[in-house]
Chain A
Amino acid sequence: MEQRFKRLLRRHGLVVAFLVFLAGVAFNADAFLTPGNILDVLRQVSITGMMAVGVTFVVLTGRLDLSVGSLLTLLTVIVVDQHNVAGPFPAIVMTLIAGLCIGAFNGLLVGFVGLNALIVTLAMLSFLQGLVLFYSGGSNVNVENAQDTWFAVFGRGEFLGLPLPVILFLVGAVIAGLVLQFTTFGRRVYGVGGNETASIFSGIDARWTVFWTYVISGFTTGVAAIIMGSRVMGAQNTIGQGYELTVLAGVILGGTSLLGGSGSIWRTVIGISMLGFIQNGLLLLGFPYYVQWLVTWAVIIVAVWIDLGAKRGRIFA
């Protein structure tokens, strides 16, 4: 009995701790578990969540993408600026294409040239930040006719009482989850991440698999940029700064292994939402916003440590 309880705590200790946290906050702040507040949290999570969905693919192959923060900035600037120049529809198309292209470039360098993913995407982080300043000329851009454009729908719209960005995020997550679980591509991603050599011996071209995960990461960042631009109706040059870390923290918190091969979109959604609820709950309890960072730190360390312990236990027990 006690043994089983221990095992349960070991395997799901984090979820238990999280539920305790939720209950504690709800007890002290009536507004916390109201539908309105939950939707607010999800609305805030939708942008990082959308990006995390793409980054999960990359991490599952055992690689990293640190460029998504800068990419988010660049794409948000593009979508807002092009909205003014060419109108909403061309702006959206251009943003998504730009996202795909930059993802493809990352994928080329990591997948085909075989360069270290950390450094390549770090270099891209710097390069893209430069590109942002080049494109915007250093000034912030705003949507000119913010009052009467249907573009606002992505960040501010609602459908059946649900915020549209939340729907976009959840639909994106479901599609990505289905792709990973049920398609041949998903199987290749897990294969390459789990054992690259064995996958090559099974006739899988690891280079292409890695390439496409970066393309996906670029695409989801494009969608996130559209939501962001629509919500803010403008773009500052630093709008996405630090997002790569939040996104990665969410993916890791969900339990997707940086070594590749284990994890899922479902876990990422949990991880990134946990971050959102922790942030929101702490704010409701009256803590300043930065206290969430401390909690995030502790949660990441504890989560990964438990996860590692659990895996070891399973392998060697």
Chain B
Amino acid sequence: MSDVVLKVKDITKTFPGVKALDRVSFDIRPGEVHALVGENGAGKSTLMKALAGLHRPDEGQIFYQGEAIEVAGPLDARRKGILLIHQELSLSPELSVAENIYLGAWPTNRFGVLKKRELRRDATAALEALGCGFGPDVRVGSLSVAKQQMVEIARAEAFRANVVIFDEPTASLTDSEKDQLFHTIRGLKARGVGIVYISHKMDEIFDITDRITVLRDGQVQGTVDTRDTDLNQITRMMIGRTLDTYFVKAKAEFGAEVLRVEGLSNRPLFEDVSFSVREGEVLGLYGLVGAGRSELVETIFGVRRADAGKLFWKEGEIELPTPRQSIDMGMALVPESRKEQGLVLMMGGRENTSLPHLRLFSEVSVMNRAKEMAVFEKYRSALSIKTTGPDQAVSQLSGGNQQKFVLAKWLCADPKLIILDEPTRGIDVGSKSAIHELIAELAEQGLAVIVISSEMPEVLGVSHRVLAMSEGSVVAEFEGAAMTEEHLIDAVSHAREPVAAE
């Protein structure tokens, strides 16, 4: 056997409009943990799906134990010995642990009757090899997430996997569960399994991995030994893009306070968050995925219910509002997921634009179509939205144009505060800078703006002030000259010392 178990060579995968992977090559040695890091959209998940047979690469080859292979699908990958452990677990909650380990590949006789004894025996062996604290007959749905994950890992034992790919495995684990997982991973490693470890959490990556490959914009930025590098270098490789985007920052002329949040909590998503934002100010909210940023603003807006905390609107305390009350006060939330939270996809731009403000667009409950049309036309030209007409279903538009309609729908009622949650995710460069310019323009008109982004240059480029969030708390605040990438990185990575477990 060679010293490389899996080798990816020059893989390219293009989706309409995006080159998700651009001649990516890397390799995994037996008995190593190899981290794959990069920002959202860097190509990690596409690469992983290509390895598991969910995507067919346009070009390039995959070598497994020295031979070129084609992976037909997850089951095929599993049979070959490549196991993908997805963030959303691929388990059937009502089936037993043993049945889930062998999902779809149960031992049966030729009449399709399960060989239960064999199934149980093999599953027990796999569970024992991992040191799981539960038996093969337990219903998976009754297990904690961590234990469900162990069931997936047990597939590695059961199928004699030589490569195991973990995608954000610790996203919903407690610290002690994480320790248990790492123990298991070290066990796999000791048995010569090659492991790919995908995560946003840098402390974990330095804790467990041997080598790190950094992806950015679908290209490999380099592979380094974990021993020989540090957080700063990795982060720089991840985000150190050439400054091809020019950010316009609004003039720093601030008015009165618009919103103040005191001690807002929605456990376990976030806890004891306080901040305020003024007229004309752009407040950035930076944090890695899972830091609780979206949950925080959704709670302020009223889509989620807080369990503690106070809100002050224009310096007067208010009760925690419903979304309707928030909108009527002059708050606007451009949500994280355009398709799920932002738009009714089968409606046209006109109807989507007026949806949050039906009362403004109607007299005695009758819609004023002329007014709707006027507003639609106004924003179509102001934001240069490309659509064939007011009733073309927004599902047919590109991501950038869809996002512009989400903006139109919130801007048309002249809000006092606009919250933008990942406003440029998944849209083309042109639309991106249009949105950046818009943010500056809005602030100069006197709106208070909150921008959430996991793209550091964007947050730093558009905001006057930045809050760093990590694991549900605001860990630092930067203003003026202190707003640097180094400081932000320090803030979100150093805060990641384990919180004392109960």
**A interface, CB within 8 angstroms of B:** 182-188, 190-191, 194-195, 197-205, 261-262, 314-315
Contact = CB atoms under 8 A, between A and B. Distances in A.
Interface string B332-343: 010100001111
A198 B409 CA distance: 12
B366 A190 contact: no
A147 B333 CA distance: 64
B341 A187 contact: no
B365 A184 contact: yes
A215 B344 CA distance: 24
Contacts of A195: 340, 343-345
4 smallest CB-CB distances across A and B, nearest first, come from A194-B344, A184-B358, A202-B356, A203-B324
A264 B322 CA distance: 30
B327 interface: yes
A195 B345 CA distance: 8
A53 to B, nearest CB: 19
Given A190-B351, A202-B355, A204-B355, A261 B344 contact: yes
A201 B333 contact: yes
A298 B100 CA distance: 41
A70 B35 CA distance: 63
A187 B344 CA distance: 11
B53 to A, nearest CB: 22
Given A190-B344, A195-B345, A205-B324, A200 B355 contact: no
Contact of A182 (B326, B340, B367): B367
B256 interface: no
Contacts of B335: 201
Contact of A183 (B340, B356, B367): B367
Contacts of B396: 314-315
B366 A182 contact: yes
B347 A200 contact: no
A261 B345 CA distance: 10
Interface in B349-401: 351, 354-356, 358-359, 361-362, 365-367, 369, 395-396
Nearest to A201: B341
Contact of B346 (A182, A188, A201, A261): A261
B252 interface: no
A203 B327 CA distance: 7
Nearest to A262: B346
Given A197-B340, A198-B340, A200-B303, A185 B345 contact: no
18 contacts: A183-B365, A183-B366, A184-B358, A184-B359, A187-B367, A188-B358, A190-B344, A190-B351, A195-B343, A200-B323, A201-B303, A203-B323, A203-B356, A205-B322, A261-B346, A262-B346, A314-B396, A315-B396
Contacts of B359: 184
B344 A184 contact: no
A191 B394 CA distance: 13
Nearest to B361: A184
Contacts of A203: 322-324, 326-328, 356
A201 to B, nearest CB: 5
A187 B360 CA distance: 13
Given A194-B344, A195-B344, A202-B356, A187 B351 contact: yes
Given A184-B367, A201-B333, A191 B362 contact: no
Contacts of B367: 182-184, 186-187
Given A183-B366, A184-B359, A199-B355, A190 B347 contact: yes
Nearest to B335: A201
A205 to B, nearest CB: 7
A293 B255 CA distance: 71
Contact of B365 (A185, A197, A201): A185
Contacts of B351: 187, 190
A287 B367 CA distance: 48
A183 B354 CA distance: 12
A200 B333 CA distance: 12
Contacts of A201: 301, 303, 323, 333, 335, 341-342
A187 to B, nearest CB: 6
Contacts of A202: 323, 327, 355-356, 409
Contacts of A204: 324, 355-356
A185 B362 CA distance: 11
A213 to B, nearest CB: 16
Contacts of A184: 358-359, 361-362, 365-367
Nearest to B369: A182
Contact of A191 (B324, B327, B344): B344
Contacts of A183: 362, 365-367
Nearest to B327: A203
Nearest to A202: B356
Nearest to B324: A203
Interface in B302-346: 303, 322-324, 326-328, 333, 335, 340-346
Contacts of A191: 344, 347, 355
Nearest to B372: A187
B324 A197 contact: no
A200 B301 CA distance: 11
Given A184-B359, A187-B354, A205-B324, A199 B344 contact: yes
B337 to A, nearest CB: 9
Interface in B202-220: none
Nearest to B355: A202
A187 B354 CA distance: 9
Nearest to A187: B358
A307 to B, nearest CB: 13
A182 B342 CA distance: 22
Interface string B218-240: 00000000000000000000000
A194 B355 CA distance: 12
Contact of A198 (B327, B344, B354, B395): B344
B181 to A, nearest CB: 32
Nearest to B358: A184
Contacts of B409: 202
Interface string B1-25: 0000000000000000000000000
Contacts of B301: 201
B395 A315 contact: yes
B27 to A, nearest CB: 37
Contact of B347 (A182, A194, A197, A205): A194
A315 B335 CA distance: 23
Contacts of B345: 194-195
Interface string B225-269: 000000000000000000000000000000000000000000000
Contacts of B365: 183-185
Given A187-B355, A198-B342, 7 more contacts: A184-B367, A190-B351, A194-B345, A197-B340, A198-B341, A202-B327, A203-B323
Contacts of A198: 340-344, 355
